Amino acid sequence: MNDSASKQGILIVEDDMIIAMVLERMVKKLDHEVIDKVITGKEAIECTREMNPDLILMDIQLKDNIDGIEAMHEIRKTSDVPVIYITGNSDQYNLNRAKETNFVEYLVKPIRMEDLKESFSKAFTDKTV
């Protein structure tokens, strides 16, 4: 039985399947549920509309012509779901673009469990208060 007060549904948007699997394990260790894993911006937009996740872990570079930031701009038209960006690139250009989507955290790979735990705490504390 899901304890909806503590377990949150997480959407993982990551085109590297190994990283997606690592993130999924981390999410589960933090006692949350992965509702889906997708690899494109288009899938992220569709999945968010259909499944209404509690949080999105969003890579910036994805497999299609819609990057994670563009996908979040589209998602923001209909949802204020918290997003944590996960990127292999810490350049200022993408950070500035990401700021326009009101993200919770901007994490640079490799991601550590304590970073993700702290980011989840921020996202879910802000959401429930």
Question: What digits encode the pLDDT tens for the residues 43-63?
Answer: 999 999 999 999 999 999 999
For the cut 80, the answer to whether the pLDDT of residue 3 exceeds it is no
For residue 11, give the H/E element and its range: strand 9-13
**Position 6 confidence tier, pLDDT thresholds 50, 70, 90:** low
Sign of torsion over alpha carbons 90, 93, 96, 100: negative
Question: What digits encode the pLDDT tens for the residues 71-122?
Answer: 999 999 999 999 999 999 889 999 999 999 999 999 999 999 999 999 999 9
pLDDT for 2:
42
- Residue 97, Cα to own-chain centre: how many angstroms? 16
Name the residue ranges covered by the structural domains of the chain: 9-128
The answer to whether the beta carbons of residues 100 and 73 sit under 8 Å apart is: yes
**C-alpha dihedral, 53 to 54 to 59 to 61, nearest 10°:** 40
Question: What digits encode the pLDDT tens for the residues 15-32?
Answer: 999 999 999 999 999 999
- Identify the CATH class of 9-128: alpha beta
Cβ neighbors of 22 (< 8 A, separation 6 or more) are 111
Return d(Cα 27, Cα 38) in angstroms, integer.
15
pLDDT for 128:
42
